[in-house]
Chains A and B, each alone.
Chain A
Amino acid sequence: ETGVTQSPTHLIKTRGQQVTLRCSSQSGHNTVSWYQQALGQGPQFIFQYYREEENGRGNFPPRFSGLQFPNYSSELNVNALELDDSALYLCASSLVGTPKYEQYFGPGTRLTVT
């Protein structure tokens, strides 16, 4: 069983730029969630996708957007990057509709905005 993978591992961007982060869900999972984890803090929920539709959103501005593809891979896009966007971005997948509803997390992408 393949786990959740994310790419890239690290990247550095300049304020005002745009970034795309990628996630491949665990095999068979139909739901993906994205979280932002600032240094020394717990993860904050950004949004969740189920069957390619946004299925819940946390307190993040519209410049944070996402996509989920038919093969259950996903992207997180952030426009007009700000210094405070520097964080570890975590992707988590789960299988809605079964007892195995736990979210399985990837290793994360470390984004640094300068």
Chain B
Amino acid sequence: GAVVSQHPSWVICKSGTSVKIECRSLDFQATTMFWYRQFPKQSLMLMATSNEGSKATYEQGVEKDKFLINHASLTLSTLTVTSAHPEDSSFYICSTYRGGVSEQFFGPGTRLTVL
């Protein structure tokens, strides 16, 4: 069964608004979560690494003030896209490791469309 969930699965918003995406680990604690963005027919691009109780580490070129990441608990990380614009429309996916294994488990993804 699924080990990582995301909510919502899809969201449509107006330009200039903020959108929050949740990523939850199911039945286990996730001290580290990764956030990816995927444009149509492209690969996954890592945006940031989220560590529980500390600041996220952003990849080069990712605006940390635009993509706010909060990892306040061992089972929940959130990505907030602030002042969203049409170019932020994408498929956002989170992932994490489950303790003791090096496999990354990916969430089902969130489709964001900014009008």
Q: Tell whether A pairs with B.
A: no
